Amino acid sequence: MFVEAFKTINVAEHLLDHSVSPLISFSGDVVQPLGSVHLPFTIGIGPYTTTITTNFLVVDCPTAYNVIFGRTGINDLKAIVSTHMLLMKFPTPYGNGYIRGDQLSARSCYNTSVKQQHLHVPKETFSIHDQAIKTSSDKAHLNIHCSNNQPDDPQDYSFTQQAQPAEELENVSISKDYPDRIVKIGTILSPPIRLALISFLQENTEVFAWSYEDMPGIYPDIICYRLSIDPKTKPIGKNMEVYVDDMLVKSKHADQHIANFFKTFSILKKYRMSQRGIEANPEKIKEIMDMKEPLTSKDIQSLTGKMAALTRFISKATDKCAPFFKALKGSKKYITWTNECAEAFKNLKEYMSKAPLLSKPKVGDTLIVYLSVSAVSFVLIRSDGSIERPIYYASKAL
């Protein structure tokens, strides 16, 4: 029992037994109790109550709680506790009694203890008579929560000092067509660097996403993180750091900043959606264009794997791969490369050299699906006036 609760129930201090050993607090500190006292303890609601006499250690330390009831008392009550149901049941002369936990009050007490706020004594006071502890609200169960106020939000970080900009910032519009598209730049830049930075940003407005419609279609093989275990592999860039959803371009000197911006923006534009549409990854296309005619089954698997990375751009991809799958029917190592395979390989390279641009649907568009029965292939189309623009290709073998 904490000293504030002890004082509230008006028990004479001379009843305390001071021959008690020190305690180790939750924080690891050694705490010397003021003493111990045997008190009658009644728990329950209405007629379903039971009373025991138990020993309380009285402790003087800041806390949000009134009493912490230990296992000895729970055993004396012959109680069963269900932490999942937030319920404690115990036998009484009139049947089973119970008390329920209160998550909001428990959370409030916890937050108050963590923040080490001053303990607020509840308005409900305790009095001892007829061997029972009763509250002023005429409830016979023991109130162990700290107050009736709304609990603090456990995610309240108001005490944390927020980081502030190192300098004053100014708003700069970077689009003549959309003057509301504004970025902030520092005010202590020299005039030449300031003008160069504004000019650079105005020339690269397509890098910024001003709404969800401007979000790029980025390939998973680019955005998925992989450990670089090859010592010959170089990182994409040395001038950018990423913090969850923020990217920081850094420079040692102000006159290097525009050049570092250029390198970073070039990388961003390389793997993003262009204004013309969603473009296939040029490096993936180049891998196919540079391939020689397959000689082994491993070569065929490498070719079909490269096609799989671009399948959304390939019309009737299953049909285009059919001759290659036929070639695998020969030896496990060497393949049967036919004229049909050579023609299909040639046609594939020709197709990928002018891979289609994919469009993105807009709200209100009427979408059309074209199906092919040779294999389960389809293309999703949107109409842009008199022009039909592909959105997605898919193909499955039967």
| Residues 262, 181 share a domain | yes
| Residues 23, 108 share a domain | yes
Q: Is residue 154 part of a domain?
A: no
| Residues 20, 131 share a domain | yes
User: Which runs of consecutive H residues, i.e. helices, occur in the chain?
Assistant: 3-8, 71-76, 103-115, 191-203, 220-223, 257-270, 282-289, 297-308, 317-327, 339-353
Q: Is residue 298 part of a domain?
A: yes
| Residues 297, 208 share a domain | no
Domain count, the chain: 3
| Residues 378, 330 share a domain | yes
Q: Is residue 149 part of a domain?
A: no
What average pLDDT does this structure show over 87-111?
A: 84
Question: Can you tell me the distance from the alpha carbon of 18 to that of 58, in angstroms, rounded to the nearest whole number?
Answer: 10
* pLDDT band at residue 91 under the 50/70/90 scheme: very high
Burial class (CB in 10 A: 0-12, 13-18, 19+), 341: buried
Question: Can you tell me the distance from the alpha carbon of 390 to that of 353, in angstroms, rounded to the nearest whole number?
Answer: 17
260: pLDDT strictly greater than 60: yes
| Residues 101, 201 share a domain | no
196: pLDDT strictly greater than 70: yes
Encode pLDDT of 330-389 as tens digits: 556 677 788 998 999 999 999 888 888 888 887 888 888 888 876 678 888 888 878 888
Given 270, 295, 319, the domain boundary residue is 270
| Residues 67, 26 share a domain | yes
Question: Can you tell me the distance from the alpha carbon of 221 to that of 291, in angstroms, rounded to the nearest whole number?
Answer: 20
Q: Is residue 129 part of a domain?
A: yes
132: pLDDT strictly greater than 70: no
Q: Is residue 362 part of a domain?
A: yes
Q: Is residue 161 part of a domain?
A: no
| Residues 364, 287 share a domain | yes
Encode pLDDT of 147-177 as tens digits: 444 444 444 444 455 666 677 889 999 888 8
Higher pLDDT, 328 or 201: 201
φ, ψ for residue 43, nearest 5 deg: -135, 145
pLDDT at 115: 65
pLDDT at 20: 80
| Residues 176, 78 share a domain | no
Q: Is residue 359 part of a domain?
A: yes
Residue with tokens 């296992």: 71
What average pLDDT does this structure show over 302-322?
A: 85
Encode pLDDT of 138-148 as tens digits: 443 444 344 44
| Residues 264, 289 share a domain | no
Q: Is residue 159 part of a domain?
A: no
Q: What is the pTM of this model?
A: 0.35
What strand order describes the sheet that includes 80-82?
80-82, 87-92, 95-100
What average pLDDT does this structure show over 90-110?
A: 84
Lowest-confidence region among 7-16, 44-53, 59-68, 118-127: 118-127
| Residues 288, 266 share a domain | no
Residue with tokens 């708003």: 171
Higher pLDDT, 228 or 270: 270
Write out the residue range of the structural domain in which residue 378 sits. Answer: 282-396
Given 222, 246, 270, the domain boundary residue is 270
Given 78, 109, 135, the domain boundary residue is 135
With b for 16 or more beta-carbon neighbours within 10 A and e for fewer, the 45-59 pattern comes to: eeebbbbeebebbbb
| Residues 131, 11 share a domain | yes
Torsion of CA 284, 288, 291, 295, to 10 degrees: 120
